[in-house]
Amino acid sequence: MVGKLAATLVTLSLVIAMIIGPTARSVAQEASVDGSYGLTLYEKAAEQGSAEAAYRLGQIHEAGHGVQVDATRARIWYRRAAEKGFPAAQLKLGAMLQTGRGGLVDLAEATRWYRAAAAQGSAMAQYNLATLLEYGRGGEADPAAAAELYEAAARAGIAEAAVQLAIMFIEGRGVAENQVSALAWLSVAAKDGMVGAAALSDQFAAKMSVAEKQAASAQAAAIRP
């Protein structure tokens, strides 16, 4: 039963990756570019050293707000902002390097920029970094670090991270195997609106004792009251 559920969760996580990818969720969460500001003003501010202006220019060129979509130029502007320590730009640059949008794929560099953004508290960067570290994409595998990052992202409300962490608890990969914690994180994912998580949580809970379910419920409530 556990093996079948774990396989189902892995399949779900792959579907998430195909639908969301490392960029779409962060794009959806960004505020839209304010059309009241002209492109020229952003360029002037960026040339004067504004990291936020450089980031906004990246958004403009990536989305094609008043200009043709140009992922290559977007990557250039995101890099300028990222080098100035702007976490949203570090996340964007990491995603473009991971997917090859606007240039070559470079997972090692993507990892570096995700680390920089994650260190500044970006939950999506924590999640994206964990997906690379878990299996050693772009560097040496570090499942334990991936689990810590998934937990940080999940606590910040990234439901996909909660599902991934549940899988790790089921399989005992990067963390000690713990079915109660797995159920707790599935419950958290369900509370955070993850499609299918509630059904999987119920399916998993059906094979657990009353005491285990109560413990998982208490753990989930402590994470997400």
Residue ranges of domains in the chain: 1-21+150-225, 31-120
Q: How does residue 101 score in pLDDT terms, banded at 50, 70 and 90?
A: very high
Residue 204: both structure tokens together: 């998993």
- For residue 26, what pLDDT is reported? 39
- For residue 32, what pLDDT is reported? 40
Indicate if the pLDDT at residue 21 is higher than 90.
no
Indicate if the pLDDT at residue 120 is higher than 70.
yes
72 alpha-carbon distance from chain centroid: 23
101 sits in the region (left: phi over 0; alpha: psi -120 to 50; else beta) called beta
Q: CATH for 31-120?
A: 1.25.40.10
Long-range Cβ contacts of 154-158 (<8 Å, 24+ apart): 154/185, 154/188, 154/189, 154/223, 155/223, 156/123, 156/126, 157/123, 157/192, 158/123, 158/124, 158/126, 158/127, 158/192
pLDDT digits 0-9 by tens, 156-206: 999 999 999 999 999 999 999 999 999 999 999 999 999 999 999 999 999
- For residue 38, what pLDDT is reported? 73
Indicate if the pLDDT at residue 10 is higher than 90.
no
Residue 167: both structure tokens together: 């899988």
Q: How does residue 9 score in pLDDT terms, banded at 50, 70 and 90?
A: low
Query: What average pLDDT is seen over the chain?
Result: 89
Nearest to 168 by CA among 148, 191, 193, 187: 148
- For residue 33, what pLDDT is reported? 46
Nearest to 128 by CA among 74, 138, 57: 138
Query: What is the 8-class DSSP label of residue 139?
Result: S
Contacts of 163 by beta carbon, 8 Å cutoff, 6+ apart? 9, 12, 13, 16, 185, 186, 189, 194, 197
Indicate if the pLDDT at residue 2 is higher than 70.
no
6 vs 194, residue with greater confidence: 194
Residue 212: both structure tokens together: 């285990």
